[in-house]
Amino acid sequence: MKKEFDPEKKLYTLSILVQDIPGVLSQVARLFSRKGYNIESIVSGETDKPGVTRITIVILGDELMVNQIADQCRKLIPVLAVKLLDEGTSIQREFALIKVRAADRNARDEVIQMSNIFRANIIDVSRETLTVAIFGDKDKTSALIGMLEDFGILEIAKTGTLAIERGRSTIYDDNKLKEEYNYGKNVL
């Protein structure tokens, strides 16, 4: 049976496990630019295994296109595993630092109250500003940013989305697909 793909464009999260060697990030990133797609967010960081990095990429696209990029990514020699995660089966979080103008006491109080509602923390304060740190899903950070805009946001530093599967399954799980990809790049 031929596969069917959802033609509707939506956000997909790719979790990619790679060997930590020079150029690996650009090797992965170029697969998106090659097709003229813009990466919505990208996060890279170390894992429980030494020398292994996990890259999480969020991309707006249709299922066929995203699958094709995932396929070409799996083919790269330093890539150990690629998983397509969706909101239903994974937990997704991001982290943001927001510097807000708060020149008088009223403004400061309001920003602090607002932050409390969102369970965000004030991590820096000066005579004219407050810096708020928030951790949560995309909607939560966007909502807080929306509220703080009234006070005047001076700058934002934000991570991309991090994601991990719910339940027992992990990116390390062996499966037939992984084995099939290793055939094409086997060095045995």
Partner 1 sequence: MKIRATQAIMECLLEQEVDTVFGYPGGTILNLYDELYNYTDKITHILTAHEQGASHAADGYARSTGKVGVCFATSGPGATNLTTGIATAYMDSSPVVFITCNVSEPLLGKDSFQEVDITGIAMPITKATYLVRDPQTIPDVMRQAFAVAATGRPGPVLIDFLKNVTAPNVEIDYEFVPWTQNRSCDSIQALADSHGLKAPEPDLDDIDTLAAMIAKSERPLLICGGGVVRGRAHKQFRELAEKLDCPVAITVMGGGGFPGGHPLTTGMLGMHGSKASNVACDECDLLFAVGCRFSDRVALDPASFASQAKIVQIDIDRSEIDKNVLTDHHIIGSAKRVLTLLNERVPQYRHPAWKEHILPLRAPSVAEDGDKLTPMQVLETMRRMAPEDAIIATDVGQHQMWSIQHFHFNYPGQLLTSGGFGTMGFGLGAAIGAKMGNPDKVVIHTTGDGCFRMNCHELATVQHYNLPIITVVFNNGTLGMVRQWQNLIYHQRYSQTTLDRGPDFVKLAEAYGLKGFRVTTLAEMEQAFQKALDSGCGCVLDCRLDMDEMVRPMVAGGAHITDFLLN
| Residues near partner 1, by CB under 8 A | 1-3, 19, 22-23, 26-27, 30, 34, 67-68, 71-72, 74-75, 77, 80, 174, 176-188
Nearer to partner 1 by C-beta: 26 or 113?
26
Quick one: which of 119, 58, 66 has its CA closest to 87? 58
Question: Cα separation of 64 and 3, whole Å?
Answer: 10
Nearer to partner 1 by C-beta: 80 or 98?
80
The distance of closest approach from Cβ of residue 185 to partner 1 in the complex, given in angstroms and rounded to an integer, is 5
Nearer to partner 1 by C-beta: 169 or 182?
182
Question: Cα separation of 124 and 102, whole Å?
Answer: 12
The distance of closest approach from Cβ of residue 79 to partner 1 in the complex, given in angstroms and rounded to an integer, is 9
Nearer to partner 1 by C-beta: 26 or 106?
26
Taking the C-alpha atoms of 161, 167, 173 and 175 in order, what is their torsion angle to the nearest 10 degrees? Answer: -100
**Left (φ > 0), alpha (ψ -120 to 50) or beta: where does 119 sit?**
left
